[in-house]
Structures are given as C-alpha cells and as structure tokens.
Amino acid sequence: MHSPQPHLDSSAGDDWPSELYRVLKAADVRQMSYVPDAGHSQLIRLFSADRDVTTNVLTTEEEGVAIAAGAWLGGQRSVLLMQSSGVGNCINMLSLSAIGRFPLLMLVTMRGEWAEFNPWQVPMSRATQPSLEAIGMKVMRAETPEDLIETVESAAALAYESDQQIAVLIGQRLIGKKKW
Amino acid sequence: MPVSSQLDRRAAVAALLKHRKDTLVVSGLGSPTYDLHAAGDRDDNFYLWGAMGGAALIGLGLAQAQPEKRALVLTGDGEQLMGLGGIATIGVARPRNLDIVVIDNQHFGETGMQASHTGRGVDLTAIAAACGFAATGTARTIAEVERLAAQLSEPADGPRLFVIKVLAENPPRSLPSRDAVFIKNRFRALLGFAAA
C-alpha cells in the first residue's frame, strides 16, 4: 500500500515542509504520529529530531487517531501524518474523535489524483474526502505551498482551540510527480 | 487445552485496582468498561464504548503526555486482538509508565460469547514479549492478581502487558456515562486542564 517514493520531482521550489514544521511547533504540537509517505518525509525527519516532540511510527493509521485522543486527555496536542490510502483505515476510530469532540489534526498527502502511475492508489484517493466527511471530519485542501501553510495554520487553530476534527488534504500536484 | 479459568472478573478487577493510587485508567469497550465502573467511578477513569482496538493506543498518547504518572489500560481479549499492531507501536515507543491488562475470558462476551482467538492458542503475552515489552505475565487466581497489583505499583523499564484469565460470564452490567465529552472534560479537569 505504501510504496516507496524516493525520487520526487518537486514543483514547489520553496521549503514548505520546514514552514509546516514551524507552524505546527508554533501551535504547540507535542506529539506526532505517522505512517510514512514520501511527501511527508522531510516533516517526519524534522519531528523525529525534535526532543520536545514525541514521535510514534504506526503500523496502521487509526492508531494515530487513538494516540491523539490519549494525548489530549493528558493535556498535549498531537498531529497525525498519512497518505490518502491510510484514510480508509481510520474510519471507525474517527468515531472516538467525533463523539468525544477530541481535537484532531490530520495531514493527508494525496495519491492517485495527479499524474499517478499506480492505479491501485486511485480508488481510495477518490473515497478520501467523501469518507472523511461522512464520519464528520472537516476537510480542507491545499494545492500550493503558500496555501498549505495558511490552511494548516487555520486548521490547527480550529482543531486545538475549537475542538474540531480536521483533515488537510495536500494535493498530489503540490507534492510532485513520482519518478519510476 | 488448559483448564478454563474460574476467576470472577469483577473480583479480579477490584483486586487489581485496590491500590491504584493516582494511576490513570482507560477501559476498553464492553465488559472492561463495566468492570472499571463497578470498581468505583472516578474522574481519572476514561471509559470507552467504541473505538475497538484503540484502548491501548489511547493509553500510549496519555502516558506520553503524562510521563510523571502511571497509565493503565484495562481491556478485553477481543478489543486487544483488534489492535494487535498497536502492541508493536507501543513496543517501539517504549513508554515506562504504561501497563496494559487484558481481562481475558477467551470470548466476545458482548455479542453472545463467541469463542475468541485467545482460547485457541493465541497468546497476547508472547506477542507483547516479541514486541519488546519490559514485562509480561498471566494471572489465573486471585492470589496471582494480588501479586500482579503489587508488581504494577513498582517502576518499569518499559511497557508491560499482563493477561488475567477469567471465567466467561457476563456479570450484571455496571454502566458509566456514555457521554464521552463529559468523561473527557472530567478527566482533563482532574489533571488541571480547563474545558474550553
């Protein structure tokens, strides 16, 4: 499901993952959990090197939904990183965030929607936004680095200050084409 | 096949929690939630009525956020079986203040007592040991549960998982609030976090 993606032809010239890291640190995020995606690799490296943030690598994405709820019970803010194929794994666990009104911020890199080579990524790509909305998540989307930073800033405020459950979808066009 | 346990789950949970002090407790859906409530409703209990497979991971997030306190996840065999991958995640995270106790009746008690995997050779303690847990074990008598309770009050080098084998029966339900927002805010308030 999570195929390696070592060579990225990034169309975004600027360093948006570092900017994203800065925004999440400013929002006082203290826990980060992830199932890897190449599009998140730099953000994962930045968080993993940060001794003030506890980082958890997951076997499946819904674990991160539960960790985020536990972190909040204990007074910490958590962010969850995944690719779009992982959204399907989360659906029932998202009941926890919805019914407990637990703040949740998910950053989802999209596959299967822009110059995708692997057709197996397409069905879940198509289902990502509708299934998140069906379980009650607010979905926001960014297609450019500038838009992404502003969107995540606003999503973090909505999640942690207003107890909302937010997924930010990061367009595959922004992440860049995978070279095979 | 080992002889099935005759241990009463409510007596086991009461003995386990008798000296819990300020340990934070998360209970998995179904009987463990009723067992925890029957042992005494407290602000530092978080009861699940859903999110199957998530109890131990909620415990992980909580333990990481509250490193000075101990966190205990009380769950059932069916609930933990749905979250097997989480045992690997917790083994890698290696929190020193998280314990998982599986109240194992070897059945899915909430849905008609269908047999689960743990009565057919699947050993959750062996899985936890293989995932690097600092300690594991199985209790089958009230004396063994009392020894386990004493062990839980001692510091640990990493996460621990214990199984308590109990009789497969459903005692009268003891129902906590199903309002997760209320339970969440009550829990957080005890730790000093005001509701927004």
Structural domains of chain B, with CATH? 9-190 (3.40.50.970)
Location of structure tokens 């309002």: B179
Chain B, 140 to 169: residues with Cβ < 8 Å from chain A are none
A101 touches chain B (CB under 8 A): yes
- Helix/strand/coil for B24: strand
- State how beta strands B71-76 and B24-27 pair: parallel
Residue A117 within any structural domain of the chain: yes
Q: What is the distance between the alpha carbons of residues A38 and A180, in angstroms, rounded to a whole number? A: 13
The three-state secondary structure class of B130 is helix
CA distance B165 to B129: 18
User: Which residue of A56, A72, A93 is in closest CB contact with B93?
Assistant: A56
First to last CA, chain A: 16
List all residues 6 or more positions away from A37 whose beta carbon is below 8 Å from its beta carbon. A2, A5, A81, A82, A83, A109, A111
Looking at the domain assignment, is residue A99 inside a domain?
yes
Whichever domain contains A45, its CATH number is 3.40.50.970
The residue in chain A having the minimum alpha-carbon distance to the alpha carbon of residue B179 is: A100
CA–CA separation, A103 and B165 (whole Å): 36
Residue A143 predicted with pLDDT over 60: yes
Residue A176, by phi and psi: left (phi above 0), alpha (psi -120 to 50) or beta?
Answer: left
Which pLDDT score is estimated for B2? 57
Gyration radius from chain B CA atoms: 15
- Per-residue pLDDT, A6: 44
What is the average per-residue pLDDT within A160-180?
89
Nearest CA in chain B to A162: B196
Chain A: give the shortest CA distance to residue B186, in Å. Answer: 10
Whose CA is closest to A169, among A151, A150, A157?
Answer: A151
pLDDT at position B109 is 93
Cα–Cα distance list, A90 to B52, B103, B115 (Å)? 12, 26, 26
pLDDT higher than threshold 70 for residue A11: no
**A131 pLDDT above the threshold of 60:** yes
Of A56, A69, A75, the CB nearest to B89: A56
pLDDT for residue A8 is more than 50: no
How far is A74 from chain B, CA to nearest CA, in Å? 5
- Does residue A12 surpass a pLDDT of 70? no
Q: What is the CA radius of gyration of chain A?
A: 15
Q: Looking at the domain assignment, is residue A2 inside a domain?
A: no
Chain position carrying tokens 């009789």: B167
Smallest CA-to-CA distance from B180 within A75, A100, A165, A71 is with A100
Tallying the residues shown for chain B, one arrives at 196
Distance CA B127, CA B68 (A): 27
Overall domain count for chain A: 1
> What is the model's pLDDT at position A13?
46
State the smallest CA–CA distance between residue A99 and chain B in angstroms: 6
One pLDDT digit (tens) per residue for chain B, 196 residues: 456 789 999 999 999 999 999 999 999 999 999 999 999 999 999 999 999 999 999 999 999 999 999 999 999 999 999 999 999 999 999 999 999 999 999 999 999 999 999 999 999 999 999 999 999 999 999 999 999 999 999 999 999 999 999 999 999 999 999 999 999 999 999 999 987 7
Q: What percent of chain A has pLDDT over 70?
A: 90
A138 domain-assigned: yes
Strand B160-165's sheet: what is its strand order?
B45-47, B24-27, B71-76, B98-104, B160-165, B135-139
Answer yes or no: is A58 within a domain. yes
Residue A1 domain-assigned (yes or no): no
Q: Is A60 on the interface with B (CB under 8 A)?
A: yes
Residue A103 in any domain: the answer is yes
B107 beta partners: B115
Residue A107 lies in a domain: yes
CA pair distance A6, A8, nearest whole angstrom: 6
What global pTM score does this model have? 0.95
Give me the DSSP letters along A82-127: EEHHHHHHHTTTHHHHHHHT--EEEEEE--SSSS-S-GGGHHHHHH
CA distance A31 to A102: 15
Residues A56 and B151: their CA atoms lie apart, in Å, by: 27
Interface test with A, best of B58, B73, B99, B183 (most A CBs within 10 A): B58
Which candidate from B50, B89, B188 shows the least CB-CB separation from A63? B89
The pLDDT, as a whole number, for residue A177 is 63
Expressed as residue numbers, the domain containing A63 is 8-178
Q: Retrieve residue A147's tokens.
A: 């838009």
